[in-house]
Every structure is written in structure tokens, then in C-alpha cells.
Chain A
Amino acid sequence: MIGTVARVMWLALLRDRGALVLAFVLPPLMFLVFAEVFSGAGESDLEMRVAVLDQAGTPLTGRIAGSIVKLDGIVAVPDASGSGPLDVGDLEALVRTGQADAAVWLRAEPDGNLDADPPVVVIGDASRGLAAAVVTGRVQRVLQSQFPTLGVARAASLVDALAGPYTEEQQDALDLALSELDAETLEQESGDTSQDGLVAQRLLGGGREIDDGVSYYAGAVAILFLLFAAMQGAISLIDERTSGIVDRLVAGPGGYTVVVVGKGLFLTLQGLAQATLIFAVAWWLYGMDWFGHFGLWLVTAFLAAAVAAWLGLLLASLCSSRQQAQTASAFVVLILSAIGGSMMPRFLMPGWLRELGWFTPNAWVIESWHGIFWRGDGPAQLATGWGVLLATALTAMVISIWLAHRLAREK
């Protein structure tokens, strides 16, 4: 008897192609996506977009800049076809707008002068502090491995300062050793050479009162739950199909389209309320300047809620059973959220996945909110994101309504 029950379930699964795909094709697919997203977070695999400004313009800084941009895992921005940053203000703008994860400013030729400011400055955004730390580490490694004399010279200067001046003989010997070292070490590792004082790190926006990650994760979590709630709410469309409510409504003058539009309106308002609650908590507990940007926040929240609502309704319109819709919606929400940056910042993902993220509403919503609260973006900077969200919501709405119309008039 137990075997019979198992056999019945197997046959039922075997004959429901939709369920079969969801049961056996999606899990490995999901694994692949998650593996790509999360395994890319190891520091050695991270691909960083880095802007480099060689302000010193000496042969040495030119070599250092060249070495940095050739590193594996570093993508120079702007790319070779564009013009490089003109000054440090341009560098900061690239980092602030998210076009670069971090920037390297070679402001002076590194030497043994301990009193001078660090000649190399890595500029990062406080909200992506990890990116700045990773780039700093890579720049230090370049200096250690390819320019070890810089560290030795600084160490010698330190000894000179602490233990008194070198004699003439000692200084000659040191100069000779440094020149020999410089000639033979391009391909050697010199891990023990200190680079203290050569590289400094500067984080933009780090002086703000709120936690750096709050504005990012408020948006990331909000869009994740907006999508989940909208998908669950939209499944009522399927319940209404199976319960005969659709048959009843289609026979009436209003038809089924009004039902779909009504659900879209409700789910949008529900999403707006959810986003309001999340940001209210961020404002209350973390001091986020919510009211200072309320208008821009509201437009983004409305668009985010509308996208979530209509994507949910579109998915429910395409599914033929509640089970199918539940599995499919979980899959869609998890994938969109993983790729779109709701679970992990996108700058920690491989480059191709980061680009793929722009095809998710999560990325646009997170970027818009983050831009508003972190960078102080205005309507001009937000226009593209808003446009993409609006277009996505409208497209999903039109297709959902068309499917509803098709359902109502069968032939």
C-alpha cells in the first residue's frame, strides 16, 4: 500500500510537465546561479572596477599605474576607449556614482620621505568599504612584488630617523643594494617588505551618522519582500480560476480584466505599505534621513511596488496551478534577489553576473534608493532607474491584462 501511494505520486509528477521541471530542473539551475553569486565573494576572485589617476606623472608612477590596471581582477574604468579621470574630483565622482568600486590616486612619486603624505591613495565609498579594502590590498601587493625597493627605502629611512644618520659608506652600500634589488625583483615576491605609509585609504561619505549599510540593505530587503508578498498575493488569481469565481465574473459585464487590474492596484498599495514600514524602522532606529528625501523615496517605492505587483500577477497568469505558481514564484524571487543584489552587494559578484543584475528590478530599486540616501541623487540621476522600473511594470501589466482577456474570451 505504501508503495502504491508512492507510485501514484510518481506518476502524477511524471505527467505534470510543469511540476517535473520545477522539481528536477530548477534545483540544479538554482544551485548554479547561487554558486556563481556567492562563490565569487572570495577576495581572490573579486572583480573590481578601478579608476586610476596618475597625477604625479613620473616614469615610476606610470609603471605603478600600468601594473595596477594589468592585475587580474581589476577592470580599469573608464575603459581604454574612454578618457581617464582628469583630477581627483573626477575620481571621487566615479566612486560616488558607483561607476568605479574604488579609485587609485597616485598623487606623488613614492620615496623614502617619511614626513610626506602617503603617495598612493585608494579612494572608496564607505557603503562599499570592502571594495576599497580589497583594492588597497591589491595595490599593496603590487608595490611589494613589483616595486620592493620602495618598502626597503622607507624602512631604511625609518632606521635613519630612529637610530641616527647613516654613514657615507652605509648610505652608498644601501643605494647599491637598492639599485641591484630594483633590477632583479620585478618577478620576485618580497612579502616581507613593509609598505607602511605608502598607501592610504580614504572613504567617501564615511563621516555620516548612519551606518553605511543601512541605506543599502533597507532597499535590498524591501524589494525582496515586496516581490515575495506580491507573488503570494497574486496566486489568488489561480484560486479564483479553480473556484469558479472567474467563470462567474467573465459572464458579467465587467469581465476579468477589472479583477486583474484591481489586484494590481491592491498589491501595489500593499508593497508601498511594506516599504514604508521598512524605511520607518531605518529612520527610527538608524537615523536615516527619510523625511529629507521623502518625495524621491516615495516615487521609487511606488515604482518598486508596482513592478513587484505586476511581475507577481504576470507569473500567476502564466501558471496553471497553485503548486506551480508557488514553486515558480519562490524560484523567481530568489534568483532575482540573488542576482539583483538583495542578498549580497553586486560589486562582490563576478563581472558578468554584475551586468546581468541590471536585468532585475532589484538592482534598479536598490541603486535608486541607495543613490537617494547615500549619494543624494536627484531626479536627473534617478531618471534612468525610474524609467526602467516604470517600463517593466507597464510591460508586465499589459501582458497580464492581455492574458486575462484571452482567458475570458476563449476563442
Chain B
Amino acid sequence: MSQAGNEAILEIESIAFAYRDKPVLHDINLDLSPGRILALLGPNGAGKSTLIRCICGRLKPDSGRVLVAGKNPLKNAEARAATGLVPQQIALYPHLTVSENLAAFARLAGVDKKALGPAVAETIEVCDLRAVAARPAGRLSGGWQRRVNIGCAMTHSPRLLILDEPTVGIDPPAREAIESLLTRLSGNGLAVLMTSHDLTQLEILADSVAFLSEGRIAATGAPSGLIREFFGARRDCRVSLADSPGTELAASLGELGLESSDRAARHWGGLVDERSARHMQSRLPEDAPITELRVRRPGLDSLWKHLYGRDPERVA
């Protein structure tokens, strides 16, 4: 559906933005090429929504520039036509069938009448919506509605797809279906920019991530590269205990570099070097009431905690 190319479809150069006197974005630089998936990460208020609004041409940056397909989305309809936005809400007409929704949004995105039928048919095919094409959107399950929500942003063949929390509130099978869809779309050459609080999902899905903190980019790069850069060979260790530990066990856990994360001190975690991780079990007292000992490579959630000093927010 999308045209693949090597040039960046999205270029963000040193943009800054302030709401009245309150700075929201500072010196943001990002780019995204066709066929790539970039995830914007950050706690609430970090500036993700403002950045997306700048990309969509709804907000004018105070300085710097945003280019979509080489043009300014604030002034150029072609740049906006190259963008498909999937809002976090289910932005559909509930009384219209899926096909009718697709057709309506295609027309509103500028698809002419002759091309409408093929565009809707192709979207149904790509997004695998045949089973529900004739059903009213308002009567579909949350998972199907999410997929139709994405489909409605695809009918005009955008080159950049922006998704705001595309899998929020849906069950694992539906989430997998959407992940598979996004992988397929990016495989077809579509550039995908998304926000999500599901860091495990992004670790698999995203080619690159950008952590925003108070309007600045705190870290950006491929997930694996970032994790390596920040944590090297260290491992993420988690220990759960049946009871609060005694003085000896608490001291041992502390010596290993673990910290308790709850008041009863039953859950301990931290980043430890590879060697300590490997011998973790043997370095703890034999009678320690361990219910779970988990050692894994650090993930984006570890990086989140490292950058923001707290666990990632969970969005149901």
C-alpha cells in the first residue's frame, strides 16, 4: 500500500514548543524511514502528544521544523495526505458498517470516488477485516474495533502511520493480531510512529525507540543497542520471598546489588553483573524462603526505570 523509499519520510529537526510560557518540547531531533517502526516512550506529560500534534500539523513549533514526505504538514496538504493518524480512542462512526467507515474516512482523506472501491477492498485485505466488513463498527469487540481503527487511517495509502496506544484495553490475542498487522504494514514499506506503554511489545516490534523526558529526548536508538549501551552485560535479577527476610538474608541480597521494592521487603531486584547473576542462587543462604528467582537480560522496562527512576506505568 505504501511506497518504499530510502529517504526519511519523517524528519524532525531541533523543534521546540511551549504552551504559553511553559516549555513542552526542547530541541527534538528524530527521523523515520519507510519500513521502520519508531516508538515514542515516556511518562505522562513527557511531551509525546505535543510532538505528535506537531507532526500532524496541528501545532506550529516555536522553532525548528517538521517535514513529512519532505513537506511542512502545517502548510502542505500533501504532507498531511501522507499521514494516517490512529487516535487512542475508537474514532469510528458506530452506526456505520466497517466498509462504510473505511469508505467515509477514505473520502475525507481525499481518495476520489473512482479509487474508493479498490482502496476499501485493499484495506480490508491488508488489515484482514473481511469477517467483519459488513457489521456495524459499534457492535464489534474491542480488538476488532482497534483493527478497524487502524484500517480507517490506512485507506488513503499514507506513507507515515501514527498510532497512539494502538493496543490499549484489548486482550492478548487481539494484541498479537495488531502486532502482526503492524509488522506486515512496515514490511510493506510503511513508516510507523507509535506510542505505547506496553514495553515488552515495543521491544519486539520497534526498530527504534525514543525516550522523552520533560520534553527532551533522554535516549534514542534501537532497543537492543540502547539496552547494551546502558547496561552492558549486566542482568536484571528479581527475587521474590515468601516472608520478610532476616538480617542475614537482607544483607546478602544487598551485597548482590539488589534492592527491595516493597515495604515488607519480599520483592528484590536490580541489575547485577553477568557472573553474579549466574551464581545468584548459590550466593544466597540455602534456607532462604525464595519463591521466585528470575534472571534475564534487561529490557525496555529496565531502561525506563533507569531513566525515570520508577517502574513503567501500566495502561490496561
Which chain A positions have C-beta within 8 A of B88? 244
Closest-CB distance, B159 to chain A (whole angstroms)? 13
Tell me if B80 and A247 are in contact (CB < 8 A). no
Whether B108 contacts A249 by the Cβ 8 Å rule is yes
Contact partner of A251 (CB less than 8 A), chosen from B85, B89, B90, is B85
Chain B minimum-CB-distance residue to A236: B93
Q: How far in angstroms is the closest Cβ of chain B from A358?
A: 40
**Residues 231 to 266 of chain A near chain B (Cβ within 8 Å):** 242-245, 247-255, 258-259
Q: Is there contact, CB below 8 Å, between A254 and B60?
A: no
A251 touches B59 (CB 8 A): no
Q: Are B77 and A253 in contact (CB under 8 A)?
A: yes
Which residues of chain A come closer than 8 Å to B91, judged between CB atoms? 243-245, 247-248
Q: CB < 8 Å: which of B56, B78, B92, B156 contacts A250?
A: B56
Q: Are A244's CB and B53's CB within 8 A?
A: no
Interface size range on B against A: 20 to 34
How far is the CB of B94 from the nearest CB of chain A, in Å?
A: 9
> How far is the CB of B118 from the nearest CB of chain A, in Å?
19
- A168 contacts B by Cβ under 8 Å: no
Cα of A242 to Cα of B57 in the assembled complex, Å: 19
Answer whether A243 and B110 are a contact pair too, CB < 8 Å, given A248-B152, A252-B156, A408-B58: no
Given contacts A244-B90, A410-B53, contact A253 B80 (CB under 8 A): yes
A253: shortest Cβ distance to chain B, in Å? 4
Q: Which applies to chain B's interface (DSSP): helix, strand, loop or mixed?
A: loop
B109, chain A: closest CB distance, angstroms: 4
Contact between chains at A251 and B60 (CB < 8 Å): no
Chain A residue contacts of B152, Cβ below 8 A = 248
A409 at the interface (CB under 8 A from B): yes
Q: Which of A248, A259, A410 contacts B87 (CB 8 A)?
A: A248
In B251-296, the 8 Å CB interface with A consists of none
| Residue among B86, B89, B110 making CB contact with A252, cutoff 8 Å | B110
In the assembled complex, B194 has its CB within 8 A of some CB on chain A: no
Q: Is B209 an interface residue (CB 8 A)?
A: no
Q: At the interface, yes or no: B105 with Cβ under 8 Å from chain A?
A: yes
B1 beta carbon closer than 8 Å to chain A: no
The yes or no answer to B83 lying at the interface (CB within 8 A) is: yes
Shortest C-beta distance, B157 to chain A (Å), equals 12
Chain B positions within 8 Å of A411 at CB level: 59-60
List of A residues within 8 angstroms of B87 by Cβ: 244-245, 247-248
B199 is an interface residue with CB less than 8 A from chain A: no
B142-183, CB < 8 A from A: 152-153, 156, 162
Residues from chain A with Cβ under 8 Å of B30 in the complex: none
Bound CA span A408–B60, Å: 12
Cβ–Cβ < 8 Å partners of A254 in chain B = 108-110
Q: Binary interface profile of B, 50-68, with partner A (CB < 8 Å = 1, else 0)?
A: 0001001111100000000
- Interface size of A by CB at 8 A reads 19
A243/B89 contact (C-beta < 8 A), A248-B152, A252-B156, A253-B81 known: yes
- A253: chain B residues at CB < 8 Å are 77-78, 80-81, 109-110
B-chain residues with CB within 8 Å of residue A243 when the two chains form the complex: 89-92
- The reply to whether B90 and A252 contact each other, CB–CB distance below 8 Å, is no
**A residues near B162, Cβ cutoff 8 Å:** 251
User: Known contacts A244-B88, A245-B91: does B108 contact A251 (CB below 8 Å)?
Assistant: no
Q: Return chain A residues, CB-CB under 8 Å to B85.
A: 247-248, 251-252
Q: How far is the CA of A94 from the CA of B264 in the complex (A)?
A: 93
A381 to chain B, nearest CB (A): 43
Which residues of A have CB within 8 Å of B74? 409
Q: How far in angstroms is the closest Cβ of chain A from B195?
A: 13
Residue of B nearest to A242 (CB): B89
- Is A250 a contact partner of B58 (Cβ separation < 8 A)? yes
A261 → B minimal CB distance (Å): 12
Beta-carbon nearest neighbor of B87 in chain A: A244
Write the chain A residue with the least CB distance to B158: A252
Determine if A251 and B110 form an interchain contact, defined as CB atoms under 8 angstroms apart.
no
Nearest chain-A residue to B73 (Cβ)? A251
Bound Cα distance from A251 to B83, whole angstroms: 7
Chain A's nearest CB lies how many Å from the CB of B5? 20
Q: List the A side residues contacting B80 at CB < 8 Å.
A: 251-253, 255
| B78 proximity list for chain A (CB < 8 A) | 253
Residue pair B58, A410 in contact (C-beta under 8 Å): yes
A293 CB to nearest chain B CB (Å) = 38
> Restricting to A187-225, which residues have a CB under 8 Å from any CB of B?
none
Min distance, Cβ A269 to any Cβ of chain B, angstroms: 18
- Return A255 CB to nearest CB of chain B, in Å: 8
Among A242, A252, A259, the residue within 8 A (CB) of B83 is A252
The residues of B that contact A242 with a CB separation of less than 8 Å are 89
Min CB distance A270 to B, Å, is 16
Given the known interface contacts A247-B91, A252-B81, the answer about A409 and B109 at a Cβ–Cβ threshold of 8 Å is no
- A410 smallest CB distance to B (angstroms): 5
- The 6 listed contacts between A and B (C-beta, < 8 Å) are A249-B105, A251-B57, A252-B81, A253-B78, A253-B110, A411-B59
Q: Which residues of A contact B (CB under 8 A)?
A: 242-245, 247-255, 258-259, 408-411
Nearest 7 interchain pairs by C-beta:
A244-B87, A244-B89, A244-B91, A251-B85, A251-B56, A253-B77, A253-B81
Additional A-B contact list (14), CB under 8 Å, known A252-B109, A409-B57: A243-B89, A243-B90, A248-B85, A251-B58, A251-B83, A252-B83, A253-B81, A253-B109, A254-B110, A258-B108, A409-B60, A409-B74, A410-B53, A410-B58
